[in-house]
Structure 1
Amino acid sequence: ASPGWDSAFLIPQYTTDANPGLRSVEDLKLEEHWNLFVRPDSDGKAGLVTCVLGWECEVINRKQVYGYGLQEVIKLIIPSTYQELNTAILSAFDKREPILFYYWGPEVVPTRLNEQYGGFYRLKEPDYSDECWDHLAAVDEAQDVTQACSYPDRQPAIVVRSELRETAPEAVAFLEKWRLSDESIHALLARFSETDDAYSDVAAWWLYNSDEWKSWVAEGIADKVLAGVAQDFDTSREVD
């Protein structure tokens, strides 16, 4: 599986380009920077469009704001739903407005931002450490947080029952070869975003347009897979 960034505070790349001094959460303490993100609903502070109400990341982000000492210059704008979060971000990018927001990846919205809007910039945060993360988890109230750090970058793992090595060694051999590159992940997400196809159709499209997966299977299997998929997928459909 592919490593990748998990969660972070982000700004549009066009905002980054126009403000060369804004590269980190620490830089947000300067009025010239936090003032870029003042909104009608942010009470004269920078509005941070944060994680969805009730999600664990909403709690963590609030603690991070206090841990970074940003509570005096940032107001958290909390979306009620996943759709509301996405709409707020895409609307700002459509208008090329500055926006300070939280997101995670890989995901469809960051892929769209890269493909259609020139991308985004991940603000530098203090490096993750187990000690810091344990502190964030242990403290109940955000105002009591004394340190904060970035989310850990994820290292996805494939996990199976140990006896599978004996009962299905071929399956284990396949899973040990399974590696999905960042390029393929973003290609799949972009295809889904651009076409709104069903997941199965996007997967079939990828099988037909990538050689990456063919090294996961034994010789001759790839042709059988493609022949089987062809029964349910229009292989003549034009590929963008």
Structure 2
Amino acid sequence: MNKPARALTLIVLVAIMLVAGIAATPAQLAAPGQPTVVATANAGELQMSWNPVPGAQHYTVGYASPDEMDRMAAAGRNRLDAFYYATIGAENTSHTFTGLEPETVYWVTVGAHSQRFGATDLVWASQHAVATTAGQHGDGFCPITGLPIPEGGYLGVGDTATFGKYSITIQEVETPESVILTRSDRTKYDSEAPPGRRWLRIYMHLENAGDSKITLTRGKDSVLDTDAGNAFSWSSERTVESGETHDTSLLFDIPQDATTAVWAVRPFTSESGDNAPQLFSISIPTAEQTVVFGDLNWSSARVQTRIAQYIVEKGYGYATDARFGATLPLFQGLRGGDVHVLMELWLPNQEAAWSAGLEAGQVYSPGEGLGKDWQSAFVIPAYLQEQYPELDSVEDLKNSQYKQLFAIAETGGKARLASCPIDWRCESVNAAQIRGYGLSDHVHIVNPADGAALNADLSDAYERREPWLGYQWGTNGPTLLLDLVRLEEPAYSDECWATTMACAHEDSTILIAANHNLPGKAPDVAEMLGKWDFAVDPVYKGIVRWQDANQDADVNATAIWWLNNNADTWEQWVTDEAAASIRAALAAGEIPDGWPDQ
């Protein structure tokens, strides 16, 4: 992969394309998130990293310059024939290209496939970025692009760059919320910027007083970089015929946090005169930062999310959003950057997903939210055990006397057990435990539609003082309000859990999970979450008791009540300035714009 370097500065246009081999259907594949492309400390090197692809056995990496691709096309060959390729093992998720020619644009590709040779059933997806190598820095060089600063200095909006008989004037710059794009079938559609990015459109006036047309080509003649990282151009080329003028625009997507962009432009034509690049420095208005929370579908997580949104919006001035869903879909969003914070992630329930996200460097935990908790599929009301004191173990469910306590007409003589909703991890775990204990012939599993249905099932039986058997956990509302008993189970062990699962659940650790970019995107929010302390007892237990006494109050009203009455707790998490802003917002009756409708 090495080629001799001939100078110091390298401008690189990178198109990262994921190629994934599939075992069944393309729908099983997921494209990676925005890739990372960075310059190394050595000139002529570029390091690319990507998300691991489940099921990949090998990765193929390669590069080509647009000139080489054009030569292939002119010869009637596929442009992809211009790529230099190498195959590396699936344990790698980064690669450094060395010996790249300076003053040259490159397309770089990475593909994942399930076999080393003969992989024909492939699905392509693409991600894009633009990077500039470390090249030259220090006095006289642009810190963003690494290119020499022209003798006349940077140009700005309203200025003109002249190249012989050709000139470019930037007229205006905007950062629209959405833009109109064109599909391959020429139909148009309205599009927001990719996650974590925003649009930048540069309006310009082009003049050509020469004798031949001049073309401004993406990457070859025009590269834009920002102080926050990579940019990508959505405009391929702009042509001005001899003796004509042309008003046009270029569209880029840039990092959300970018405040300065430098556009390096130098048209390569026989009549363009001095080919030294001119640098336009563009000040970009700071975008309103939005912190996106995963709105998990159970009570303790939703209350914490609303409280956190209030603090983040009213205390720190960020916009917030809450996206409702179950743990795994929201966690995938967290890994990819579409979601920034989950206020609860339960381990070991989500250990596999969490470990994969950590290994890929996509997530981290600012701290623990609720802390520790228990869970069990074999919970009964205390009044029932008082009536049947010998009913104290899962083994007792094999006794026909006790089994009949929980049997109903639909269970065929088996004990009815209210387990977890089918989209919860504990649904499959509970079923495995029942098999492991040899209870399949004694217990009939019922799966409620959601957590609220499970709670209602228990509460209704408890109110009527009827027998009830099922799944509960220590932080759940009914558990904190009702007198419940866990049937005895063998103690948890790693060996048991890896084989039969005929033992108790391991006590859970409940983390706050965040996207790895949160400290850079919102450092004050990350710091606040690191101080978050929402212990089950007394903090959350007090909330549940208040909700029980105020059953008409929704989760938003609960958050407002808690903030108004527990300033001594939340003020320990925030700065003095944020605390003053939150108190003022509460006094004025303000609610966050990002709270979803109930």
- Structure 2, unpaired ranges of 5+: 1-368, 592-598
Cα 1:80–1:212 change in 2 (3 A) is closer
Distance in 1, Cα, partners of 2:402 & 2:587: 53
Question: How has the CA–CA distance of structure 1 residues 7 and 30 changed in structure 2, closer, same or farther, with 3 Å as cutoff?
Answer: closer
Match of 2:555 in 1: 199
The 1:63/1:207 distance shift into structure 2, 3 A limit, reads same
Post-superposition offset of 1:82: 4.7
Comparing 119-128 and 62-71, the one that deviates more: 119-128
Counterpart of 2:542 in structure 1: which amino acid? A
Higher gyration radius (CA): 2
For residue 176 of structure 1, the aligned residue among 523, 530, 537 is: 530
- The one-letter code matched in structure 1 to 2:564 is Y
Gaps of 5+ in 1: 136-145, 235-240
Structure 1 match to 2:575: 218
1:130 aligns with 2:494: yes
Alignment of 1:1-240 (within 5 A): 1=369, 2-53=371-422, 55-80=424-449, 82-111=451-480, 114=481, 118-135=482-499, 146-160=500-514, 169-182=523-536, 183-193=538-548, 194-210=550-566, 211-219=568-576, 221-232=578-589
Normalising by structure 1, we get a TM-score of: 0.76
Match of 1:222, SS state, is helix
Separation of aligned partners in 2, 1:42 and 1:202:
39
Aligned 8 A contact 1:36 1:46 in 2? yes
How many residues were matched structurally?
219
Q: Which moved more, 1:52-61 or 1:149-158?
A: 52-61
The DSSP-based 3-state class of the residue aligned with 1:3 is: strand
**Structure having greater relative contact order (Cα 8 Å, sep ≥ 6):** 1
**2: CA distance, partners of 1:75 / 1:105:** 24
- Greater shift, 94-103 or 73-82, is seen at 73-82
Q: As a proportion of its length, which structure holds more helix?
A: 1
Q: Which has the higher strand share?
A: 2
Counterpart Cα distance in 2 of 1:180 and 1:90: 25
SS at match of 1:171: helix
| TM-score of the aligned structures, taking structure 2 as reference length | 0.33
SS in 2 for 1:76: strand
1:79-104 deviation line (CA, Å, top 9, x unaligned) = 35555433332221121011111233
| Residue 233 of structure 1, CA deviation | 6.3
Cα distance change of structure 1 residues 131 and 223 upon mapping to structure 2, 3 Å threshold: same
Give the Cα separation in 2 of the matches to 1:43 and 1:164. 53
Cα distance, 1:78 vs structure 2: 3.4
Contact 1:3 1:153 in 2 (8 A): yes
Q: Deviations over 1:97-145 (max 9, x none)?
A: 111112334233434xx2xxx421122222233333333xxxxxxxxxx
